[in-house]
């Protein structure tokens, strides 16, 4: 599956920071049951890679990706864990070269026109605007639409349930990344029903343009 097809699966990609491997499968199951199948597990804790492995084995209906790829070595580790897509906060020549050596597609992060031009030069046409709110949010994406009419974005960073519809209304936004669907307190409490309900609500958001 290419990155655009993956982003078209649902209006929201959950951005997950998993502290305990034991939470991975029930968390992923709740999100999938709510209609969010593409899951980004951030490479921010020791549990990340084992969590991806556990999700891949137990949840064939999910598409499990790895986020926060910042070093070439991260791509190898993510591939070995079975990641089906990758997400990076930025893009360098080294990361682009590492991405070319693995089988999963990459959603690279950009924040400025210069970074976007570099990404286009490396063959990408779909990006994560990150951090979206700090980068200018909806107004920045509107500004990008003129000079970059064929580029699609998955803005991530500071987006909430309340602001997500504003992003999804833009023609150049495929979906948004959000952590609100899996609040840490709900994960720690094992409140999977609440997370499923949050996921179902997020999945009900609809693109109104584009």
Residues whose CB falls within 8 Å of the CB of residue 139, separated by 6 or more in sequence, listed in order: none
Which CB contacts under 8 angstroms, 24+ apart, belong to 64-69?
64/28, 64/39, 65/6, 65/38, 65/39, 65/40, 65/41, 65/104, 66/40, 66/41, 66/42, 67/15, 67/40, 67/41, 67/42, 67/43, 68/42, 68/43, 68/44, 69/43, 69/95, 69/106
Distance (Å, rounded) from C-alpha 83 to C-alpha 52?
A: 7
pTM of the model: 0.96
Active site residue 40: yes
Could you read off the pLDDT tens digit of each residue along the chain, which spans 210 residues? 899 999 999 999 999 999 999 999 999 999 999 999 999 999 999 999 999 999 999 999 999 999 999 999 999 999 999 999 999 999 999 999 999 999 999 999 999 999 999 999 999 999 999 999 999 999 999 999 999 999 999 999 999 999 999 999 999 999 999 999 999 999 999 999 999 999 999 999 986 544
CATH architecture for the domain at 3-203: Alpha-Beta Barrel (3.20)
Distance CA 172, CA 180 (A): 22
Check 19, 40, 61, 207 and give the catalytic one: 40
Phi/psi of residue 56, each to 5°?
Answer: -60, -40
Catalytic: 207?
Answer: no
Q: 57, 61, 128, 196: which is the annotated catalytic residue?
A: 128
Q: How far apart are CA 197 and CA 176, in angstroms?
A: 18
In sequence order, the 6+-apart residues with CB closer than 8 A to the CB of 75 are 69, 86, 95, 98, 99, 101, 102
For 106, counting Cβ atoms within 10 Å of its Cβ (0-12 exposed, 13-18 middle, 19+ buried), the class is buried
Strand 106-107 to 85-87 pairing? parallel
CB 108 within 8 A of CB 127: yes
């Amino acid at each position: 599956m290419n990155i655009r097809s993956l982003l078209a699966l649902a209006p929201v990609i959950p951005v997950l920071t998993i502290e305990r491997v034991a939470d991975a499968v029930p968390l992923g199951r709740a999100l999938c049951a709510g209609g969010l199948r593409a899951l980004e597990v951030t490479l921010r804790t020791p549990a990340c890679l084992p969590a991806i492995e556990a999700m891949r084995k137990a949840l064939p209906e999910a598409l499990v990706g790895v986020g926060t790829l910042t070093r070439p070595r991260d791509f190898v580790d993510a591939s070995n864990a079975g990641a089906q897509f990758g997400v990076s906060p930025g893009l360098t020549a080294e990361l682009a070269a590492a991405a070319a050596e693995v089988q999963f597609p990459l959603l690279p992060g950009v924040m400025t026109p210069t970074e976007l031009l570099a990404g286009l030069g490396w063959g990408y046409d779909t990006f994560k605007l990150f951090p979206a709110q700090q980068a200018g949010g909806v107004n920045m994406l509107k500004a990008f639409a003129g000079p970059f009419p064929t580029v699609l974005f998955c803005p991530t960073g500071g987006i909430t349930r309340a602001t997500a519809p504003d992003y999804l209304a833009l023609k150049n936004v495929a979906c948004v990344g959000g952590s609100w669907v899996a609040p840490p307190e709900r994960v720690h409490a094992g409140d999977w029903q609440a997370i499923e309900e949050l996921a179902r609500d997020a999945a009900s958001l609809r693109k109104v343009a584009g």
